[in-house]
């Protein structure tokens, strides 16, 4: 049977989602836990291969399991064997045989959290980007609106990106203040490697007054990674959700 998993994890101690030869990964942690429960060696495939240090509150993955079980037992047993890893299966459910966590996805949502205050992050350390000055959220959001739509995002693409094309459609990019933090919400069918973090690094330049919002349009048009801001650190980034034609609970 094919199963769909909804996952949450702290990426700080991992080299990313994808299994690594000599480093811990989220994928390997889950596969080891499933093997401990079922005795089967499985391949767990995710909707998004998050980078080292990137977190998730709504990652989706799938696996095929011969062992007869229930959704509740699968969730609880895998969580038991994941201890003390900072990974949790929030929900498990049967999926259609042709469901694929990555290729069936219709959209992905990310949140980037910035703590913009003079005092350093303590309780949020490793889970936000600490910026020791107040950011101009209105200017950042005005700049963000210039990036929404279908564009060539070469200026925001990592050199190691393996995507066939730099053209993507950015459905949402919103900057807002939430208590003591600045949240940047991004949504698209798919993203280029480091695209969200590169967008955040560019918006940060606007937030500190180094650039005005209009300059972001020129950065986009340049189609040159050197024209954009730096790559924001991974610890502020979260994969918050993956969208499918059939939502969770409808397989």
* CATH numbers and ranges of domains, the chain: 2-104 (3.30.70.580), 107-241 (3.30.70.660)
Of residues 10, 51, 116, 171, which has the active-site annotation? 51
Number of helices (H), then strands (E), belonging to the chain: the values are: 5, 10
pLDDT of residue 232: 98
pTM reported for the whole predicted model: 0.95
How far are the Cα atoms of 86, 121, 153, 177, 234 from residue 128, in angstroms, in the given order? 17, 8, 25, 14, 9
Structure token digits, residue 15: 């080299």
| CA proximity to 186, closest of 94, 134, 113, 92 | 113
Residues of the chain with pLDDT under 50: 249-251
**Strands 107-116 and 129-131: what pairing?**
parallel
pLDDT tens per residue, range 166-208:
999 999 999 999 999 999 999 999 999 999 999 999 999 999 9
Residue 171 annotated in active site:
no
Instruction: List the beta bridge partners of residue 247.
Output: none
pLDDT tens per residue, range 19-39:
998 999 999 999 999 999 999
> Per-residue b/e over 42-59, b at no fewer than 16 CB within 10 Å?
bebbbbbbbbbbbbbebb
């Amino acid at each position: 049977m094919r199963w769909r998993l909804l996952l949450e994890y702290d990426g700080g101690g991992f080299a990313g989602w994808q299994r690594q030869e000599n480093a811990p990964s989220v994928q390997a942690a889950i596969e080891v836990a499933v093997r401990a429960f079922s005795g089967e060696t499985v391949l767990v495939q995710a909707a998004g291969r998050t980078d080292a240090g990137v977190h998730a509150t709504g990652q989706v993955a799938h696996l095929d399991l011969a062992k007869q079980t229930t959704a509740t037992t699968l969730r609880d047993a895998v969580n038991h064997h994941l201890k003390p890893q900072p990974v949790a299966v929030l929900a498990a459910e049967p999926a259609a045989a042709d469901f694929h966590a990555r290729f069936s996805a219709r959209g992905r949502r990310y949140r980037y959290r910035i703590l913009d205050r003079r005092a350093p992050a303590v309780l949020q350390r490793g889970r936000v980007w600490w910026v020791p000055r107040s950011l101009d959220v209105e200017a950042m959001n005005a700049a963000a609106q210039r990036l929404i739509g279908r564009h060539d995002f070469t200026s925001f693409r990592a050199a190691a990106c393996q995507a066939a094309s730099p053209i993507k459609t950015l459905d949402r990019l919103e900057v807002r203040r939430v208590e003591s933090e600045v949240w940047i919400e991004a949504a698209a069918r798919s993203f280029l490697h480091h695209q969200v973090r590169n967008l955040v690094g560019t918006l940060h330049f606007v937030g500190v007054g180094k650039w005005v919002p209009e300059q972001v349009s020129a950065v986009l048009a340049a189609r040159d990674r050197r024209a954009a801001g730096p790559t924001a650190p991974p610890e502020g980034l979260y994969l918050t959700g993956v969208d499918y034609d059939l939502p969770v609970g409808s397989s």
